Structure 1
Amino acid sequence: MLLKIYPENPNPKQVEQVVEVLKKGGLIVFPTDTVYAFGCDLNNNKALHRLADIRGVDLAKANFSFICSDLSNLSDFTRQIDNPTYKILRRTLPGPYTFILPGSSKLPSAFKKKKEVGIRVPDHSVARSIVETLGNPLVSASLYDDDEILEYTTDPELIHEKWIDKVDLVVDSGYGGNVPSTVIDLRGDQPELIREGKGSVEI
């Protein structure tokens, strides 16, 4: 199913449709402020396994991101964050970053063995509306073509054609970007750049 949701003012009924799919263990493709991504409900084990299968990885070892609507629930998934780290998060989010933080013991069972968690708060109204309505983060992985060069698909209609047999819904919010998020590890004394992407490395 291809569902158009305009980012200027996301229609709550359409967002609710997406959330119903997620609550039933569905897999979606949704827009972010960088590239289109796969997403599923953090609390649905069946969906998490489907996401791992589609990416060809072992769920216990997968480096998926948690898509949050804001920073209010960080303590549910991360150990205590010091002041300098929190200031970086406040200054840069919402924005095109994935921050690696120390995982807490409250992580869902599928991620219990993970010592870290990747947190994203995208600057995209549709993504954040979906998470707000769902009531907990999405678990996410960037969507890219399976060729030798990592090419990100930007056209939601082409995404739908390619993935409709593997996902339950594709959210069309117009063309996506083709530069992924900047990944920064905040677990050490100094921020460590893991991948340079859309977000400035000067944080």
Structure 2
Amino acid sequence: METFYIHPENPQPRLIEQAVELLRQDKLIVYPTDTSYAFGCRLGSKDALEKLKQIRELSDKHQFTLLCRDLSEIANYAAVDNIQFKQLKAHTPAPITFILNATKDVPKKLAHAKKKTIGIRVPSNPIAQALLAAMDEPILTSSLILPNSDEVMDDPFDIEEALGNQIDGLINAGVQTTKLTTIVDMTSSQVEIIRQGAADVSSLI
């Protein structure tokens, strides 16, 4: 496993490029977001996605999330109307995952098997944004919650100890918060909060 010590506010471009190279090679990394650390891999990745499913013991019904730089790419992956787009624009970037109806361009492995939905998230974290800018495409992301645990891991040294031989790269940006994203389901006319996390979204309801 490669470890990259990246500055949380001013990410070093050379190290970001090295981490992105791992993503491009179908590798699984752990990186910081605007809440806690998370798993990340390239969209369309086979090996890394398989590895992620094994580590987290995820079923095929798991709702995956795409981390996007901004909303300009959203139409490629999610079907949103004008009202939804305005709501999304008003609430991004933020630690919120929006569950939306997936478009046909979303690989079948990623859209929720029964519901055909996808999670979309726009982070404000400088490292996450730098990774997305260098990748020039969304990153598949998943909370860093291990089986038999409800807690997110916040200390990179604990992460290294627990996952060192299972992941390919770790971006160490110091201890993060253990907060989770707020999850909002926007697939029907009635907006529903699935998980209340770091962001207050009461204005959406």
Report the TM range for the smaller structure's normalisation: over 0.9
- Counterparts in 2 of 1:45 and 1:38: CA distance versus 1, 3 Å: same
Match of 2:199 in 1: 199
Residue in structure 2 matched with residue 160 of structure 1 by the alignment: 160
TM-fit CA distance, 1:131: 1.5
How does 1:24-173 map onto structure 2 within 5 Å? Answer: 24-58=25-59, 60-79=60-79, 81-111=80-110, 113=113, 115-148=116-149, 150-173=150-173
Aligned partner of residue 78 in structure 2, secondary structure: coil
Structure 2's unaligned 5+ residue stretches are none
Deviation at 1:125, TM superposition (A): 0.9
CA separation of 1:56/1:145 partners in 2, compared to 1, >3 Å: closer, same or farther? Answer: closer
Please state how far the C-alpha of 1:144 moved relative to its aligned partner: 2.4
Matches within 5 A, 1:5-24: 5-24=6-25
Q: TM-score scaled by structure 2?
A: 0.92
> Which amino acid in the other structure matches residue 91 of structure 2?
T
Q: Name the CA distance, whole Å, in 1 between partners of 2:74 and 2:12.
A: 27
Say if 1:107 and 1:14 are closer, same or farther in 2 by CA, change over 3 A: same
What residue is the counterpart of 2:188 in the other structure? 188
Amino acid at match of 1:185: D
Aligned residue type for 1:94: P
TM-score between both structures, scaled by the size of structure 1: 0.92
Share of identical aligned residues, percent? 36
> Number of aligned pairs?
200
Q: How far, CA to CA, are the matches of 1:155 and 1:168 in structure 2?
A: 17
**Structure 1 stretches lacking a partner, 5+ long:** none
